[in-house]
Structure 1
Amino acid sequence: MRAVSAAEVAPTSYAWEIRAEGLKVRAGLRRMAVDGLDLSLGTGVHGLLGPNGAGKTTLIRSLATVLRPVGGTLELLGTSLGGATDLRELRRRIGYLPQDFGYYKRFTVREFVEYMAWLKEVPRRDIPAAVQRAVERVGLADRADDRMRTLSGGMVRRAGIAQAIVNDPRILLLDEPTVGLDPAQRLRFRELLHELGTDSCVVVSTHLVEDVAAACTAVVLLAEGKLVFEGTPDELAAAGGPKDVGDSPIERGYSALLARPDQERGAW
C-alpha cells in the first residue's frame, strides 16, 4: 500500500496521457531532431522504433520534460508544457530511464532506488515499501544490499528500471531498456511491461523489433524526426512483403516502411 496524491485521485480531465501537435524539438543548437510530430498515446505499451538519428531519444527526453519544445504543442497528463509551466507536480507522475544514467557506485541498489524515490518526492513513510516492490519487480531483491559497483551491466540496467517505476508513474519512459539484459531477463522484462501497461502509458524506445512485437500494444515508427507509422504490431507486420528485408514479418514491415518515399509513408 502507498499514499496517493490529490492529483492521482482527481477525476481524469484528459483524453490522452501524451498528446503532441506539430511538435518540434531541437537536438543541439541547429538540428531539428523532432520535426512537426503529431502523436496521441494513451494507456498501454508503445514501442518507439526508428533508425539511428530518427529522433527517438530526443522525443523521449522532451516527454520527460528534459528538453523543451521549440514549436508546436505538447501535453502530458493534461498539462501543456508552456514556457512558465511548473513541472514539479508533473514530474512526480513520470518515470524515466535514459540510455545512460548516473549513480553513486558506493550506493547499494536499495540506497540508489531510495535516493531516486526521494528526488521524486515519494512520501517518506512510503519509500521503504515502494523501493522493496520496485526492486522485487526487476528481480534484484537478492542483490538489494549489494553496492552498485559490484553489479553486472545487465543488473545496473535493471536497477535503472527499478528507479523509473518506484513512484508508480502514470507515464513511464524507457530509452533502450533491454541493453545488457540476457535472453531470460528480456523475457521477464516483457512480462513486466505487460503488467505496467495495464494502467500506465509506457513508451519504450528500442532497436530490437522483436521486443516490440512481443511486448507492445502499439508501435510508433520515426524517421528523420517525422512520424512514419502509428498502429499495432500486426499492422506493422502487414506493411511488408516477402521481398522486403528482415527475418520476421514485423522486421519486413519495418524495413518496407522506411524504404518508401515520404509521400507514400504519409498514407499510414
Structure 2
Amino acid sequence: MARAVDPAELAPTQHAWEVNAAAVRVRAGRRMAVDGLDLRLGTGVHGLLGPNGAGKTTLIRALATVLRPAGGTLELLGVDVGGRPDLRTLRRRIGYLPQDFGFYRRFTVREFVEHMAWLKEVDRRRVPGAVQQALERVGLADRAGDTMRTLSGGMLRRAGIAQAIVNDPDLLLLDEPTVGLDPAQRLDFRALLRDIGEQCCVIVSTHLIEDVAAACHRVVLLSSGKAVFQGTPQDLVDAGADSDLGDTAIERGYSALLARHHEGAAR
C-alpha cells in the first residue's frame, strides 16, 4: 500500500518551485480536462502518467502557456500566468515538445533547430554553439545536413527534442517524447533526461511506464483531470499487489491506484 506523500517532501533542495499549481482548472474545448489540480514540482525529472483522456496533454499545454487556466492559480518559474504576465519573456525559459510539431520539410535538421532557437530569442551569438550541443545531445549531429523530410519517425522525434532543449530551458515539457524511438534510442533518451534533470524541472507525459521507472525521480498520476497519486517510482511499485493487473510491479501499482480512484469516484 502506497503511503500518502506530503507535498513538502517533493521540495527541491536548491531551487524554488518551477511549477506551483493550486486548484487549477483547464478546458479542452467544452470539457474541463484538468479540474482542481494541486501540483508543486521542482528540479528533477517528473513522469506524468494516466489513461487516455486523463488530462495529461491539456496540462502540458497549460504549462507551456498554450492554454490559459480557467480557474485556480498557476505559477511557472515564479510567474503567475493568470496575472497576464509577459509570456514572451517566460517562454524563453521553457522548452516544449508537443505530441505533433510542425516544420518546413525542406529545412535541414540544423536549419530547423536554428529556426526554433531564433523563435525562442536565443542570443544570436550563442545560436551556433547551442544548436550543435542540442544536436549532439540527441544523437543527430551526423544528420545535421539532412532535410527534415528524409528523417525517420524516430529521428524526427529526436529533432523535436533538440529544439525543445536548444534554449537551455529552466522548465522542459515533453509530451510522448519516446514515440518512434527504438529501444537503444530510448536508453539514450533516459540518460539525457537524467542529465538535464540535474539542473532543470523536466515533465514527461508518457504511456510507457518503464520509462518513468528508469528515468524519473517523481511520478504524478492523473485520472479525470485530478492528481490521484504523487510520489517516487518505488511508491508506485508499493501501491500494487501480485493480484493487480500488469506484467511488472510498477504496472501493477499503476493499475491498482487507478482502480481505487475509480471505485472511490463511483461511491
Partner deviation per Cα, 1:161-190 (whole Å, 9 max, x = no partner): 000000000000000000000000000000
SS of equivalent residue, structure 1 residue 35: strand
Task: In structure 1, give the amino acid aligned to 2:33.
Answer: A
Q: Distance in 1 between matches of 2:261 and 2:78?
A: 35
Q: Distance in 2 between matches of 1:19 and 1:226?
A: 15
TM normalised by structure 1 equals: 0.92
Do 1:22 and 1:38's aligned partners in 2 also have CA atoms closer than 8 Å?
yes
Please report how far the alpha carbon of residue 264 of structure 1 lies from its aligned counterpart in structure 2 after TM superposition.
Answer: 5.6
Provide closer, same or farther for how the CA distance between residues 161 and 138 of structure 1 changes in structure 2, counting only shifts above 3 A.
same
Q: Distance in 2 between matches of 1:217 and 1:139?
A: 24
Q: Distance in 2 between matches of 1:84 and 1:186?
A: 38
Partner of 1:19: 20
Within 5 A, what are the aligned runs for 1:102-121?
102-121=102-121
SS of equivalent residue, structure 2 residue 127: helix
SS of equivalent residue, structure 1 residue 114: helix
SS of equivalent residue, structure 1 residue 82: helix
SS of equivalent residue, structure 1 residue 73: strand
SS of equivalent residue, structure 2 residue 193: helix
Please report how far the alpha carbon of residue 85 of structure 1 lies from its aligned counterpart in structure 2 after TM superposition.
Answer: 1.4
SS of equivalent residue, structure 1 residue 260: helix
Q: Distance in 2 between matches of 1:192 and 1:24?
A: 32
Task: In structure 1, give the amino acid aligned to 2:37.
Answer: L
Do 2:15 and 2:42's aligned partners in 1 also have CA atoms closer than 8 Å?
no
Aligned-CA RMSD value: 1.3
Partner of 2:177: 177
Partner of 2:37: 37
Task: In structure 2, give the amino acid aligned to 1:65.
Answer: T
Please report how far the alpha carbon of residue 14 of structure 1 lies from its aligned counterpart in structure 2 after TM superposition.
Answer: 7.0
Flag structure 2 segments of 5+ consecutive residues without an equivalent: 1-13
Do 1:25 and 1:67's aligned partners in 2 also have CA atoms closer than 8 Å?
yes
Partner deviation per Cα, 1:198-247 (whole Å, 9 max, x = no partner): 00000000000000000000000000101110000000000000100011
Please report how far the alpha carbon of residue 263 of structure 1 lies from its aligned counterpart in structure 2 after TM superposition.
Answer: 7.9
Partner of 1:8: none
Do 1:14 and 1:77's aligned partners in 2 also have CA atoms closer than 8 Å?
no
Do 2:228 and 2:261's aligned partners in 1 also have CA atoms closer than 8 Å?
no
Partner of 1:5: none
Task: In structure 1, give the amino acid aligned to 2:89.
Answer: E
Partner of 2:162: 162
Q: Percent identity?
A: 75
Partner of 2:193: 193
Flag structure 1 segments of 5+ consecutive residues without an equivalent: 1-12
Q: Distance in 2 between matches of 1:195 and 1:81?
A: 28
SS of equivalent residue, structure 2 residue 156: helix
Q: Distance in 2 between matches of 1:81 and 1:113?
A: 27
Matched, 1:81 2:81: yes
Q: Distance in 2 between matches of 1:261 and 1:228?
A: 7
Q: Distance in 2 between matches of 1:228 and 1:261?
A: 7
Task: In structure 1, give the amino acid aligned to 2:101.
Answer: F
Please report how far the alpha carbon of residue 261 of structure 1 lies from its aligned counterpart in structure 2 after TM superposition.
Answer: 3.7
SS of equivalent residue, structure 2 residue 104: coil
Q: Distance in 2 between matches of 1:58 and 1:190?
A: 24
Please report how far the alpha carbon of residue 84 of structure 1 lies from its aligned counterpart in structure 2 after TM superposition.
Answer: 2.3
TM normalised by structure 2 equals: 0.92
Partner of 1:128: 128
Partner of 2:94: 94
SS of equivalent residue, structure 1 residue 255: helix
Q: Distance in 2 between matches of 1:50 and 1:246?
A: 14
Task: In structure 1, give the amino acid aligned to 2:27.
Answer: R
Do 2:15 and 2:43's aligned partners in 1 also have CA atoms closer than 8 Å?
no
Do 1:173 and 1:204's aligned partners in 2 also have CA atoms closer than 8 Å?
yes
Task: In structure 1, give the amino acid aligned to 2:254.
Answer: Y
Q: Distance in 2 between matches of 1:132 and 1:153?
A: 21
Do 2:140 and 2:158's aligned partners in 1 also have CA atoms closer than 8 Å?
yes
SS of equivalent residue, structure 2 residue 103: coil
Task: In structure 2, give the amino acid aligned to 1:79.
Answer: V
